Amino acid sequence: MYNTDSKEKEYSIQTKDVHLHYGDFHALKGINIAMRKNQVTAFIGPSGCGKSTFLRCFNRMNDLIDNVRIEGDIFIDDVDIYKTNIQVDDLRKHVGMVFQKPNPFPKSIFENVAYGLRVNGTSDKNFVQERVERSLRQAALWDEVKDKLKKSAFELSGGQQQRLCIARALAIEPSVVLMDEPASALDPISTAKIEELIYELKKDYTIVIVTHNMQQAGRVSDSTAFFYLGELVEFAKTKTLFTSPRDQRTQNYITGRFG
Amino acid sequence: MSFHDGKSINKSKRLAQNAAFVIFRGLSFAVVAILVIILAFIIFRGISVISWEFLTEMPRDGMTAGGIFPAIVGTFCLVVGSMLFAFPVGVMSGIYMNEYLKDGWFKRFIKLMTNNLAGVPSIVFGLFGMALFVNRFGFGDSILAGSLTLGLLALPVVIRTTEESLKAIDDSFRVGSLALGATKWQTTSRVILPIAFPNIITGLILSVGRVSGETAPILFTVAAYFLPRLPNSIFDQVMALPYHLYVISTSGTNIEASRAMAYGTAFILILIILIVNLLANWLRKYFAKRVKMN
Amino acid sequence: MNQLEKELLRIKEKVNEMWDLVTFQVNGGKAALVHADKELARKIIKRGKKVNDYDVKIDRMCENLFALFNPVAVDLRWVLAVLKINANLERIGDTAEGIARLVKEVDTAFDAELLQITQVLEMYDAAEAMLTDVRTALAEENTELAKALIKRDKVLDKINAKADKALVSYMQAHPENIAQALKVSNIIRKLERIGDQITNIAEEVVFYVDAKVVKHRQKGKRDKNKD
């Protein structure tokens, strides 16, 4: 159903007038956005502005929450992920996700990375082996763990665990990687490593990152979207948004003059 | 007035604290003391009859001599039988309730019912087991009927521990697995259950302790008054330790003569429960380690 | 290398390219002066536009770097220094362009005697050398060299101070060449200004490397030369 070879197509994620309600709460108010392939897009905004909620629409993680209603269209690589006959597990293979807190499984380092392959029916031993190594290399973790692949993932440091989670997401070769504040639970050194990694990864993946840290958005992203009270206030090249935002609310937020 | 001049206007609050802790400590020691006394009493009275013979031979002379071997075997059969029933059913119900059932009136209702089931007196289970398994299903007084009855008794505990073990697992594991394209069942079976396993197994073994000590449910469904042979099939009656203890202390042919036997039986029963509890502890630690490593 | 380092490197490359242009403008100015090479002078003037583009570009890059990377410590000092170095380079370029315009206007070659007595060529050599050395000082983070440059600026000041006298006597001896003499006077003043701008760059180098402020140390002298 998904065609991962279509990298040359311009937009990876496009949304049209997306509204989301949690029960009575109108959390997203008509979001239109188009994110380019092989670029890093950052979502910034105060807590509760809807940026994480919006991110979770792209791999339909909001389906897990009761009482959520979504209107509008979301296209990922030109497939309408809500309207057509989509299996969520296929979608999630195509759209990987990394979470705020590192959440490796209580398995060995190797099995953590291999997990996505196994649940998706890959059993060829050599293939799994190769893919695990490649993913760990992509996540810049291989050199640190190659001698202890059989050890528990819990023996790694927080930063290493997060890179392991990134490797785990990469192993199933998604085309889009969603990152929900991937460095907010990490120390500055680990954060810097993750940020470097994001830079490297955009060669092969389209990345959307939610962050509370505006400097982080500045450092890693090509484009930045500012959300406020469920609206997409401004979406522009990161350089432009951080040097000359058009909207007063964006200006207030990034200069720390809110409220 | 400063904090280091040794004078305090709040002497009373310290006094209250000291008094409270003295009382708590006293009560805790009292509880332990009572426990020790009971154990010591039984061990002291029972140890004299413990011998290889006592453990491996049939009772003789109106249960005033010989051993309790058939009762041990009977209890073992009943425990295994009840767990074969309660474990899969209980664990599956627990998984269904925690992982699949959405919050709502139905879930609340099932929870209420399981909690009520846990509160039902064991003699009622016995009566029910007799009506259903022994009479209606026609199993007769048999290991099968007794096991199922004991299994029903253990079921709420198994369901509850399974549910609690699953509930204690951070959602980030589930979300992480689902985000990799795993189905709910793959998530449950490959990630969640292995993590919950140590706690589930603990709950299971603790219910083994409870089941092996129950008298009332087996009273009408399986237990034999005196049956100095081993069972051949699941439709046989068996003796069981708690019931045997009850019999020789209350309605034996010669209660005075079998007094020592009674304490010996009690001692074995307590020993079994103690071993089961220790095993539970050890298994939990063992599996907890395994889960992280694997 | 992290992303900030990559960005810094990109700015550094731009600064170097700009420096090449400005060096060409200054060095070429001397040749044009000696040979009254109008073609060369025109070329120098043309480069001025490019230098201005670089000035804008580097300013913009620094602005983005501040906004996106929030540089601190040595990185912060480097970007701040580069901002000012950029401005000074642009002004050096402008001044060199001004000289080229003067050279373009003359019809005949400058009188060799005039050039000799005013020591304008020595001044040129000194300025060229300083421009090269300050670039080295920045590249090698050599504060000793930078500090020495601040002192070397005095050579230019001295020649400038003596030039008026020499020019007056020249004009008395060669009244037919007063127009040329005035131009040379103008060139000398411009070269002196280039020296000041190089000194400013040297001060920024010291600030970047040692985090010390050395400008305004010799207030009396500097005020006199303010434009």
How much is the ipTM here?
Answer: 0.89
Among C1, C4, C61, C68, the residue to mutate for chain A (most A Cβ within 10 A): C68
Q: Any alpha helices (H) in B96-240, and if so which ranges? A: 105-119, 122-129, 143-167, 171-178, 184-186, 193-213, 216-219
Amino acid B179: pLDDT? 93
Which residues touch A28 (CB under 8 Å, ≥6 apart)? A18, A19, A20, A50, A53, A54, A57, A230
C32-45: average pLDDT: 90
Compute chain C's Rg from CA coordinates.
19
Cβ <8 Å between A215 and C69: yes
Q: Do C63 and A218 touch (CB under 8 A)?
A: no
Closest chain A residue to the Cα of B170, Cα to Cα = A103
Reply yes or no on whether the pLDDT at A105 is more than 60. Answer: yes
Q: Residue C153 sits in which domain range?
A: 3-225
Domains, chain A, with CATH or none: 11-103+175-254 (3.40.50.300)
What local confidence, expressed as pLDDT, does residue B282 receive? 87
Mean pLDDT for the stretch of residues A43-47: 92
Q: Please report which confidence band the pLDDT of residue C224 belongs to, taking 50, 70 and 90 as the band edges.
A: very low
Q: What gap in Å lies between CA A90 and CA C225, rounded to an integer?
A: 74
Measured between CB atoms, does A242 come within 8 Å of chain C? yes
- Phi, psi at B139, each rounded to 5°: -75, -15
Q: What is the largest CA-CA distance in chain A?
A: 57
On the question of pLDDT at A3 being above 60, the answer is no
Task: Evaluate whether chains B and C are touching (3 or more beta carbon pairs less than 8 Å apart).
Answer: no
The pairing of beta strand A223-228 with beta strand A40-44? parallel
Q: Which residues of C touch A218 (CB under 8 A)?
A: 67-70
Do residues A192 and C2 make contact, with C-beta atoms less than 8 angstroms apart?
yes
Q: Are strands A95-98 and A79-80 parallel, antiparallel or unpaired?
A: unpaired
- C90-148 pLDDT, tens digit per residue, is 999 999 999 999 988 887 788 888 888 888 888 899 999 999 999 999 999 999 999 99
pLDDT tens digits for range A139-193? 889 999 999 999 999 999 999 999 999 999 999 999 999 999 998 888 888 888 8
For all residues of chain A together, what is the average pLDDT? 89
Position C164 scores a pLDDT of 86
The nearest alpha carbon in chain B to A119 belongs to B182
Number of separate domains in chain C: 1
In angstroms, the CA C60 to CA A98 distance is 34
**Does residue B144 contact residue B81 with C-beta atoms inside 8 Å?**
yes
SS3 A231: strand
The residue-averaged pLDDT of A238-249 equals 92
- What CA–CA distance (Å, rounded) separates B133 from B146? 8
- The residues that bridge with B224 in the sheet, in sequence order, are none
Determine the distance in angstroms separating the CA of A91 from the nearest CA of chain B, rounded to an integer. Answer: 7
C2, C63, C69 member nearest A218 (Cβ): C69
What CATH number corresponds to the domain at position C7?
1.20.58.220
Residue C123 Cα distances to B133, B147, B204, C20, C226, angstroms: 117, 111, 97, 20, 19
Angle between helices C3-35 and A188-201 in degrees, nearest 10: 70
pLDDT score of A1 = 43
| Mean pLDDT over each residue of chain C, to the nearest integer | 88
Q: Which residue has the tokens 């484009």?
A: A223
Those residues of chain B that have pLDDT short of 50 are 294
In tens, the pLDDT along B160-213 reads 899 999 999 999 999 999 999 999 999 999 999 988 888 888 888 888 888 888
Mean pLDDT of C199-223: 77
Q: Given this model, what pLDDT does residue B291 score?
A: 65
Strand order in the sheet with A79-80: A25-36, A11-22, A68-76, A79-80
Residue C3 to residue A218, Cβ atoms within 8 A: no
| Long-range Cβ pairs for the range C157-164 (8 Å, 24+) | C157/C192, C157/C195, C157/C221, C157/C225, C159/C118, C159/C119, C159/C120, C159/C122, C159/C123, C159/C126, C159/C188, C159/C192, C160/C123, C160/C188, C160/C189, C160/C191, C160/C192, C162/C119, C163/C118, C163/C119, C163/C120, C163/C188
What band does C223 get if pLDDT is binned at 50, 70 and 90? Answer: very low
Whether residue A111 has pLDDT greater than 50: yes
Q: How far is CA A93 from the centre of its chain?
A: 13
SS3 content of chain A, % helix, strand, coil (to 5): 40, 25, 35
Residues of A at the B interface, defined by Cβ within 8 angstroms: 59, 61, 64, 66, 89-93, 96-97, 99, 101, 103-108, 111, 115-116, 118-120, 151-152, 154, 165, 168-169, 172
Any residues with CB less than 8 A from the CB of B41 and at least 6 apart, and which?
none
- Among A2, A90, A119, the strongest candidate for a mutation testing the B interface, having the largest count of B CBs within 10 A, is A119
